[in-house]
């Protein structure tokens, strides 16, 4: 008989696993669940706000967090953190939770005595609950920014002596600075976004553990006391966007301050500012931009900032400046009325960012800039530079990743640029010659803006096939065809070649650019049919073919259109022909069909790689005016088919495009009626149907479009009364001229002749007086004999009543 054998190692392993398993089981079992009383308090708090109101335009990240709370599922409490040992509520993250109304003194919120973290920012409470916050004595972090709170900070805040962070920005608290600060352990202070006047409220003086306080954008006035700047633990102080008007010359702060970050920008300080601040030897970041004062600000010739790494002096007239700051990394001298480069800059061996935009600099860009090995970003836009001092050295010595030369007077050929460049902005100059082939060798170049210059020749094929994502060559003298995209993983996101002399056809290889976002070829000499194949681009949002020689139909049964993300299309001023079927727009663009969500609008373009402000632009005919959109809002929706040769009835399926803002079908040959279903276009702001062959009445339903600011139906064959809605009556009469049978406001032609009806209902016009007389005579002629005959019959009945009645009715 064979006996089972078990090795000792196996036995040991088994017991070890059993021991570990039992440990984890005990650990999991011992984890406390949220206490029932805490769940009850949370549910009671939720019920205090049965209606959740979200303002996505103001706070796009809002979320109805409390809506999902349920006592049956602990995991449903979004924004709530329970203590892992005791099961009590430790943190409430309810910023932007769409809460609104009042928090009463007996609100369930104030029963959460164990709270350490409370965020109610970006909600809609009134200020009545503020004194009750003093009951939450365990709070360490409190965020109440952007809530429209008003009044003084209540005295009960003095009991929150465990607070380390307090945000009160974006409110309307009152109070102002006082030299009586005694926050001995304060290490960070932000004061803004309120309406303070008077003294800083005393409750803050007891918050000895506080190291972050946000109160920015207020109406603080007066001077800045040294007792504030030299608090022992204070590391950051933000007093920006206030009304501080005094000079700092009388300040005599000690050098013992631990202040590292000081923001005094957008105030009304005057006099010698930098000298007293230079005594703050630990200061690393200093923001003094745009002091709202007419007094000139004098910057002394030499300062002792030894630790300073960031300095912003934008918006000041500077005559002399010598910082003596060897560690400076970022320097902003934008809009400082500078006539020449300050020579001290060449000694800043650690400088990484230099902004000299919007000044009066002219002539040559000094060559020593390119020898600054640490310089990464250089902004020289909005000046009068016309050349470079020894531009051949730019390639050899520069380490730039961003170069902004926009809006100057540069001429001649484009200089050789740094091999490390990521962003090159050189639009609005007078550069000439061919686009350098050396740009094709830029391994890191992602953004190239050479728009509005005098470049000639063809677009280098190697440039189109490089790593460039945003290529802007608009308003030059470029010729030839658009190069083919050889790489099937084309990197182009924006291609703007508008207003050149480009010929030929659109290269079908554009379909290789799966990330293409904006395509703009306006104002060229491209001869082609409608590019149905562009529907293969899943991310295409803007397509502008305006003012070329495109021709042929916009509809093909073999090529049903479906642009997944298209939101702006302009094919105006071409030779497109044919009719559009009634269901033409049914599957056209999900972005146009779906109603827009209430989110914060942002501009197309931009980058998270480096800081710069390049955005795609385009021309758009809106409300009867040709305008340039220097930035394209992501929320914009527009269709412009104007100035073509399209005919037949307007597709009623346009009514599906509920997010459409601009619709221009003018100067075509459309016929038939204006669909009444267009009342579904609730976002429509501009409608142009002028110069077509439209007939029938203007649908009364259009008067319900509350956002409609512009409508033009002039020069058609429309009849009847113009709808009398507020948006339509307020239009210019020229918007309805050229329709012989239209009447009503704003036209001077009445729909009721000389007299309007006494009631809104349509009434038959009264006949002329002569016709009234004739009708009356006819009535008398018919009425008179009848009356006489009736009287005679009545007399007979009356005289022979018994006999006649007996015979007639057998009485």
One DSSP character per residue, 127-169 reads: GGGGGGGGG-TT-SEEE--SS--EEPPPGGGGG-TT-SEEE--
pLDDT at 763: 39
Q: How many independent structural domains does the chain possess?
A: 3
- Is residue 350 one of the residues assigned to a domain? no
Indicate whether 660 and 808 sit together in one domain.
no
Tell me the pLDDT tens digit for each residue of 690-715. Answer: 999 999 999 988 888 888 999 999 99
- Is residue 212 one of the residues assigned to a domain? no
Structure tokens at 714: 């002039």
Indicate whether 794 and 651 sit together in one domain.
no
Which of these three, 61, 90, 122, is where a domain ends? 122
Instruction: Give the DSSP per-residue string, 318-337.
Output: -S------TT--EEE-TTS-
Indicate whether 796 and 670 sit together in one domain.
no
**Which residues have a Cβ under 8 Å from the Cβ of 522 and sit 6 or more positions away?**
498, 499, 544, 545, 546, 547, 548, 570, 618, 619
Which of these three, 122, 139, 168, is where a domain ends? 122
Cα–Cα distance, 147 to 507 (Å, whole number) = 53
Which of these three, 669, 703, 737, is where a domain ends? 703
pLDDT at 779: 38
- Is residue 670 one of the residues assigned to a domain? yes
* pTM of the entire predicted model: 0.80
- Is residue 23 one of the residues assigned to a domain? no
**Which residues have a Cβ under 8 Å from the Cβ of 581 and sit 6 or more positions away?**
555, 651
Indicate whether 529 and 667 sit together in one domain.
yes
Q: Which residues of the chain have pLDDT under 50?
A: 1-31, 179-186, 197-201, 301, 608-610, 756-811
Provide the domain limits for residue 599. Answer: 518-703
Indicate whether 797 and 684 sit together in one domain.
no
Indicate whether 569 and 682 sit together in one domain.
yes
Indicate whether 796 and 668 sit together in one domain.
no
- Is residue 115 one of the residues assigned to a domain? yes
pLDDT at 611: 59
* Residue among 614, 632, 613, 609 at smallest CA distance from 622: 632
pLDDT at 609: 47
- Is residue 391 one of the residues assigned to a domain? no
pLDDT at 201: 44
Residues 730 and 707 sit within 8 Å (Cβ to Cβ): no
For tokens 């017991």, the residue is: 15
- Is residue 205 one of the residues assigned to a domain? no
Query: What CATH number corresponds to the domain at position 614?
Result: 3.80.10.10
Indicate whether 690 and 810 sit together in one domain.
no
Structure tokens at 439: 């740009």
Largest CA distance in the chain: 146
pLDDT at 14: 44
- Is residue 534 one of the residues assigned to a domain? yes
pLDDT at 539: 92
């Amino acid at each position: 008989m064979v006996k089972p054998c078990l090795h000792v190692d196996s036995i040991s392993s088994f017991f070890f696993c059993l021991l570990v398993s039992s440990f984890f089981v005990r650990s999991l079992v011992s984890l406390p669940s949220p206490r029932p009383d805490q769940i009850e308090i949370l549910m009671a708090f939720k019920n205090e706000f049965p209606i959740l109101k979200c303002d996505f335009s103001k706070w796009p990240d809002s979320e109805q967090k409390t809506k999902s709370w349920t006592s049956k599922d602990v995991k449903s409490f979004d924004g709530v953190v329970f203590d892992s040992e005791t099961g009590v509520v430790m943190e409430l993250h309810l910023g932007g939770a769409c809460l609104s109304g009042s928090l009463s003194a007996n609100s369930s919120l104030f029963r959460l005595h164990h709270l350490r973290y409370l965020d109610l920012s970006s909600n809609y409470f009134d200020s009545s609950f503020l004194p009750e916050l003093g009951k939450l004595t365990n709070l360490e972090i409190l965020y109440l920014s952007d809530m429209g709170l008003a009044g003084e900070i209540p005295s009960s805040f003095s009991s929150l002596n465990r607070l380390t962070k307090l945000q009160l920005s974006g409110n309307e608290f009152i109070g102002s600075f006082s030299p009586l600060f005694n926050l001995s352990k304060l290490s960070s202070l932000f004061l803004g976004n309120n309406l303070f006047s008077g003294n800083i409220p005393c409750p803050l003086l007891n918050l000895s553990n506080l190291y972050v306080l946000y109160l920015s954008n207020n109406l603080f006035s007066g001077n800045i006391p040294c007792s504030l700047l030299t608090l022992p633990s204070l590391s950051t102080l933000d007093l920006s966007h206030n009304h501080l008007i005094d000079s700092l010359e009388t300040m005599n702060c000690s050098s013992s301050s631990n202040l590292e970050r000081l923001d005094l920008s957008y105030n009304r300080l005057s006099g010698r500012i930098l000298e007293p601040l230079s005594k703050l030897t630990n200061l690393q970041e200093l923001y003094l931009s745009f002091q709202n004062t007419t007094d000139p600000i004098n910057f002394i010739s030499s300062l002792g900032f030894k630790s300073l790494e960031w300095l912003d002096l934008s918006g000041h007239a500077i005559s002399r400046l010598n910082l003596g700051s060897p560690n400076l990394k970022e320097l902003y001298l934008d809009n400082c009325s500078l006539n020449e480069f300050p020579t001290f800059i060449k000694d800043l061996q650690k400088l990484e960012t230099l902004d000299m935009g919007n000044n009066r600099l002219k002539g040559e860009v000094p060559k020593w800039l390119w020898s600054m090995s640490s310089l990464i970003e250089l902004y020289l836009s909005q000046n009068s530079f016309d050349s470079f001092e020894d531009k051949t050295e730019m390639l050899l010595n520069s380490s730039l990743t961003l170069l902004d030369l926009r809006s100057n007077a540069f001429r001649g050929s484009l200089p050789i640029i740094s091999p490390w460049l990521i962003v090159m902005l050189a639009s609005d100059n007078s550069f000439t010659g061919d686009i350098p082939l050396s740009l094709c060798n830029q391994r890191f170049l992602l953004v190239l803006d050479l728009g509005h210059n005098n470049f000639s020749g063809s677009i280098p094929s190697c440039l189109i096939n490089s790593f460039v994502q945003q290529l802007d060559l608009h308003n030059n003298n470029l010729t030839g065809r658009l190069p083919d995209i050889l790489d099937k993983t084309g990197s182009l996101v924006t291609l703007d070649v508008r207003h050149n002399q480009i010929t030929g056809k659109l290269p079908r290889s554009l379909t290789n650019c799966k990330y293409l976002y904006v395509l703009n070829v306006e104002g060229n000499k491209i001869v082609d049919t409608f590019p149905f194949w562009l529907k293969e681009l899943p991310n295409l949002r803007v397509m502008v073919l305006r003012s070329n020689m495109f021709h042929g139909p916009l509809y093909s049964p073999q090529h049903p259109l479906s642009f997944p993300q298209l939101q702006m299309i302009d094919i105006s001023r071409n030779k497109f022909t044919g009719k559009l079927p009634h269901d033409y727009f049914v599957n056209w663009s999900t972005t146009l069909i779906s109603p827009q969500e209430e989110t914060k609008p942002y501009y197309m373009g931009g980058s998270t790689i480096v800081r710069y402000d390049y955005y795609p632009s385009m021309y758009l005919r809106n409300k009867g005016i040709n305008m340039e959109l220097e930035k394209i809002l992501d929320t914009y929706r527009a269709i412009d088919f104007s100035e073509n040769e399209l005919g037949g009835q307007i597709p009623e399926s346009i009514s599906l495009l509920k997010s459409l803002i601009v619709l221009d079908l003018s100067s075509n040959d459309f016929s038939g009626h204006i669909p009444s279903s267009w009342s579904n276009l609730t976002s429509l702001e501009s409608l142009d149907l002028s110069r077509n062959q439209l007939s029938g009445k203007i649908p009364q339903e259009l008067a319900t479009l509350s956002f409609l600011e512009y409508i033009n139906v002039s020069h058609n064959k429309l009849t009847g009364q113009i709808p009398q809605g507020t948006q339509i009556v307020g239009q210019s009469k020229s918007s309805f001229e050229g329709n012989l049978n239209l009447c009503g406001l704003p036209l001077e032609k009445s729909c009721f002749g000389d007299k309007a009806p006494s009631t809104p209902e349509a009434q038959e016009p009264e006949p002329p007086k002569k016709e009234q007389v004739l009708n009356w005579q006819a009535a008398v002629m018919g009425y008179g004999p009848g009356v006489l005959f009736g009287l005679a019959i009545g007399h007979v009945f009356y005289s022979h009543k018994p006999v006649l009645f007996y015979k007639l009715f057998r009485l």
